[in-house]
Amino acid sequence: MRTDDGPVPAGELARRTIRRADFVSCDQAFIDCRTPGSDRKENYSMIGPGVTQNADQVVNLREPHGFNIGAAAMPHGITNNLHLHFTAEVFLCFRGEFLLRWGADGGEGELVLREGDIASIPTWIFRGFTNIGPDDGWLFTVLGHDDTGGIIWGPSVLREAAGHGLYLTADNQLVDTLAGDEVPDPAELIQPMAPADIAALPSYDAAKLRRRVATSDDLQWSSRALLGTAVSGGRVELAPVIGFGMTEDRDQEPRVYHPHGHNVAWLRAEPGEGIPLHRHDETQVLLVKDGEWEVTLNRHDEVSVRLGPWDMVSVPRGAWRSIRNVSGERATLLVVNSGDGRVRLDWDDEVVKAAADAGVGRDHNGYLAPWHLLPRAAGR
């Protein structure tokens, strides 16, 4: 959906709102669902199907966004087996601790992800992870592009799954012979990756992959990342994690630069503060980490939704929106926008005027600057 000054109806906002209570798990999303030690995984697809291999997987919102959002949950000690992706895979650890390992046999390196950490895993390397924290560990995932191409499983994973009656076709569909599916012709099945192809995969040591992880200590927060921070009620802080995204602070840099097909940033605000009225041309998902937030769409005929922890809303391209922390304490949410380039914000005229009255404008490169130094045709 793309809006051009037309209001977003209340029904459309409701359709694009995904509550935590709306998440539907699938315990047979992947070929390793019967492998001992991996048989109690729960997989979710909130926005787009992601890389699920089960045609019955519930997808909350199928509309293409330029990225997919899902999640993995598993009890302590349960493992997601080695596999590789063709597009970006970003882990957002919202609860617990996970041991991440990578390499063809999982022995190339290990890192621990803790609550609040974000990790961007390189494409074309085998990766897996184990819940080493409490039983209710939770990883959200953001996958690059609408069509991810699926995944390639490690050879041992495919062989072990066959022993439990599970096979994977060349078009990435799961075949369950114990449930009555016919055993496909071997020519129709995905074959284990050849040793020569595995040997040609890229290599990452722990230090190199650590640079693609953003812990709380790695974040570069800015209290002047947006023009709206200069006006009353607009005091927020932004920390880009993947890509430059929406920041209008010329000195701010993301932790991860590599193209993903989307950008990711943390946003936090004190009670009553937020981002005043603006719009942009990318699809956007707002995912609440903690607190309660109110998202309001449209310049006129406003419609609003309140979001609690782990709720998310998809904002259409071009829709006017404002965001406000309605909690009693500082709150945090995650912002995901489509595209690899900077996200150029179009601020409401009243915001531009109020910022100018406060002495702040934007230069021709889209970054904040002293209003009195800008040509009068600039400042927006």
- Measured CA to CA, the distance from residue 380 to residue 378 in angstroms comes to 6
Residues 262 and 246: beta-carbon distance below 8 Å: no
Which tens digits make up the pLDDT trace of 53-100?
778 889 999 999 999 999 999 999 999 889 999 999 999 999 999 999
Mean pLDDT of the chain: 93
Which tens digits make up the pLDDT trace of 269-328?
999 999 999 999 999 999 999 999 999 999 999 999 999 999 999 999 999 999 999 999
Go through the domains of the chain in sequence order and give each one's CATH number.
Answer: 10-214 (2.60.120.10), 220-373 (2.60.120.10)
Which tens digits make up the pLDDT trace of 4-17?
558 999 999 999 99
**Distances in Å between the alpha carbon of 176 and those of 82, 136, 156, 163?**
20, 28, 18, 11
Residue bearing the bigger pLDDT, 187 or 227? 227
- Measured CA to CA, the distance from residue 27 to residue 33 in angstroms comes to 7
CA-closest candidate to residue 113, choices 98, 95, 131, 134: 98
**Distances in Å between the alpha carbon of 158 and those of 36, 153, 239, 251, 326?**
14, 7, 40, 47, 48
The whole-number pLDDT of residue 5 equals: 56
Sheet bearing 42-47, strands edge to edge: 59-61, 42-47, 67-74, 137-144, 89-95, 118-121, 213-214
pTM listed for this prediction: 0.93
- Measured CA to CA, the distance from residue 130 to residue 112 in angstroms comes to 10
What is the residue type of 376?
R
